[in-house]
Structures are given as C-alpha cells and as structure tokens.
C-alpha cells in the first residue's frame, strides 16, 4: 500500500508539481522528479564477501 498523501506532499513541495501534474505521472516519472532514480545498486552478497576478503577483521593488537 502506498502512502499517497506523503507522495503527493513530496511531489508538490520537493518536485514543484501541481496536484493535477502529480496524478498524471507514472511512478518512475515521480522518482525522476524527486531525484530518487538511478542511485547506486545495493550491496550484493558477493560484493560483501569480496570486501570481507580484502579487508579482514583483525584480532588482537
């Protein structure tokens, strides 16, 4: 379920949209307007294991 009130508020205040413009957007278009698209990919398990191998925890010292 979406919090439509919060999304509308963000679109109007942060995105500078009029309410009728907000309701005509697709979800992806709203993300673009709000600057939330195209961020870095989340850390995958494989990448986490690579980092753990490259930078192991040191015990003692």
Which tens digits make up the pLDDT trace of 2-61? Answer: 788 998 999 899 889 999 999 999 988 888 888 887 767 778 899 999 999 999 988 765
Query: What pLDDT score does 42 carry?
Result: 74
pLDDT of residue 51: 93
Please report which residue ranges of the chain form alpha helices under DSSP H.
4-13, 19-24, 27-34, 45-54
Which 8-state DSSP code applies to residue 11? H
pLDDT at position 13: 92
What are the extents of the domains in the chain?
1-38
pTM of the model: 0.55
Torsion of CA 4, 8, 9, 11, to 10 degrees: 140
Give me the pLDDT at residue 16, please.
92
């Amino acid at each position: 379920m979406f919090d439509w009130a919060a999304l509308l508020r963000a679109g109007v205040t942060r995105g500078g949209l009029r309410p009728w413009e907000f309701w005509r957007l697709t979800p992806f278009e709203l993300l673009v307007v709000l600057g939330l698209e195209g961020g870095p990919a989340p850390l995958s398990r494989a990448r986490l294991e690579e980092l753990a191998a490259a930078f192991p925890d040191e015990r003692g010292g």
